[in-house]
Amino acid sequence: MNIFDRVLDDLVIKFNRGSQQEIIKPYEFYGYSEPQNILMKVNKGNFYVGQSFTPIKPGQFYFIPASEPIYLRSGRAKDYTIFGQDGFPNYEESKKYHLRIQPGEDIENAKDVMSLLFFDVDIHSAFSLFSVMELPCITLPNDDILDFLVENIIVEQGQDKIGSKQLIRNYIYEIIIQICRFINSQDRFQNKVEKLQLTADKRLLDLLKYIKENLGSDLSNEILCNIVCVAKEYVGQFFKRLTGKNLQQYIELQRLEKAHELLLTGAHNVQEVTFLVGFKDAAYFSKRFKAKYGINPINVKQTKSKDSSFFIA
């Protein structure tokens, strides 16, 4: 059995949003990243991707795995307004560069138009599918199936009709299959595909699930060794052998990401979030949070969610 066939049976998929947009002012993203997967389709006009800013033709797709740095020029200009790792500073700034186009709206007079889908896809709610493979951003060729799926998702999400959510979920699943088929057909990605083998280790799956569900609890090696049935001296080695990552660094990263998510909701203050995600000291938490996000946690609620700072989607 192909590794993808096994993995596809274990996916947990969440569709976040999608839209079609006209570029009304050229700009450049240089190293920005989003916490979700993004599928972009060039409908018409000028778009350039990758660090070398290679032109992407109308009808082609650009797939951006979650957290991968984005290098993108939208529109055509001699000098682009450049947005670095922080992306647009706020939603209002994003609106200066994009105009949302409603489904079915005529785009004949629009110059540069793209369609965007944002979605999460995890294996057993533990691994991010494309992050496991360490997949870079990739250009996909013209594809009638992807074309159909993207267009119908954008139409369905704008309608209050019975079954729209179910249809969108099915469409996203089909999109993931098409992306996986393309990856599997390319020899240059076979070393990436092989990384999916680590998801077959049930002990690792159990460990990742336990960490995700118990971020506020004690996650020392003394506790985690019981999940994978190895001595506490070897649980870190077990984790690094399969993932290439340091176990306690991975746990801290998960705690910080959860903290960021909680702070964006505005339901908890910094002190509460500190303990909810398992940090024992608020000052240390603030220091580590700023090191990762470049902002003090107390200021997070004063900024817009990054979900809306990329595109008006």
Whether 311 maps to a domain, the answer reads: no
pLDDT more than 90, % of the chain = 58
State the CB neighbour count (10 A cutoff) for residue 287: 12
Pair of tokens at residue 309: 């700072």
CA distances from 79 to 31, 32, 210 (A): 18, 19, 49
94 and 156 in one domain?
yes
Pair of tokens at residue 59: 């009808």
Rounded Cα gap, residues 39 and 37, in angstroms: 7
Whether 139 maps to a domain, the answer reads: yes
For the entire predicted model, the pTM comes to 0.76
Residue 271: domain span: 201-301
210 and 73 in one domain?
no
278 and 217 in one domain?
yes
Whether 109 maps to a domain, the answer reads: yes
- Given 163, 193, 223, which residue is the final one in a domain? 193
Confidence of residue 53 (pLDDT cuts 50, 70, 90): very high
CATH number at residue 276: 1.10.10.60
Radius of gyration of the chain (CA): 21
Rounded Cα gap, residues 21 and 31, in angstroms: 21
74 and 96 in one domain?
yes
CATH number at residue 78: 2.60.120
284 and 211 in one domain?
yes
* DSSP H or E segment with residue 117: strand 113-123
110 and 29 in one domain?
yes
Q: Is 211 helix (H, G, I), strand (E, B) or coil?
A: helix
Q: What is the mean pLDDT of residues 254-267?
A: 85
Into how many domains does the chain fold? 2
- Given 155, 171, 193, which residue is the final one in a domain? 193
pLDDT more than 70, % of the chain = 95
Whether 287 maps to a domain, the answer reads: yes
Rounded Cα gap, residues 307 and 129, in angstroms: 20
Angle of helix 235-243 relative to helix 202-213, nearest 10 degrees, comes to 110
Confidence of residue 305 (pLDDT cuts 50, 70, 90): very low
Could you report the per-residue pLDDT of 14-50, keeping only the tens digit for each? 898 999 999 999 999 999 888 889 999 999 999 999 9
CA distances from 277 to 183, 208, 292 (A): 36, 15, 15
pLDDT value at position 35? 80
Whether 312 maps to a domain, the answer reads: no
Whether 41 maps to a domain, the answer reads: yes
Phi, psi of 27 (to 5 degrees): -155, 170
pLDDT value at position 306? 42
189 and 266 in one domain?
no
pLDDT at 308 over 50: no
- Given 176, 193, 210, which residue is the final one in a domain? 193
pLDDT value at position 266? 75
Confidence of residue 263 (pLDDT cuts 50, 70, 90): confident
Identity (one letter) of the amino acid at 291? A
Confidence of residue 301 (pLDDT cuts 50, 70, 90): low
Q: What is the mean pLDDT of residues 236-259?
A: 87
55 and 180 in one domain?
yes
Rounded Cα gap, residues 243 and 199, in angstroms: 10
239 and 176 in one domain?
no
pLDDT at 89 over 70: yes
Angle of helix 221-228 relative to helix 235-243, nearest 10 degrees, comes to 70
43 and 107 in one domain?
yes
Query: Which is it for strands 81-83 and 27-32: parallel, antiparallel or unpaired?
Result: parallel
152 and 231 in one domain?
no
In the block, residue with structure tokens 């910094």: 270
Could you report the per-residue pLDDT of 164-178, keeping only the tens digit for each? 999 999 999 999 999
pLDDT at 304 over 80: no
Whether 310 maps to a domain, the answer reads: no
Confidence of residue 199 (pLDDT cuts 50, 70, 90): confident
Rounded Cα gap, residues 148 and 86, in angstroms: 33
What DSSP string describes 131-187? HHTT---EEE---HHHHHHHHHHHHHHT---TTHHHHHHHHHHHHHHHHHHHHHH-G
Angle at 305 between CA 113 and CA 31, to 5 degrees: 60
185 and 258 in one domain?
no
Whether 32 maps to a domain, the answer reads: yes
- Decide which of 67 and 22 is more confident: 22
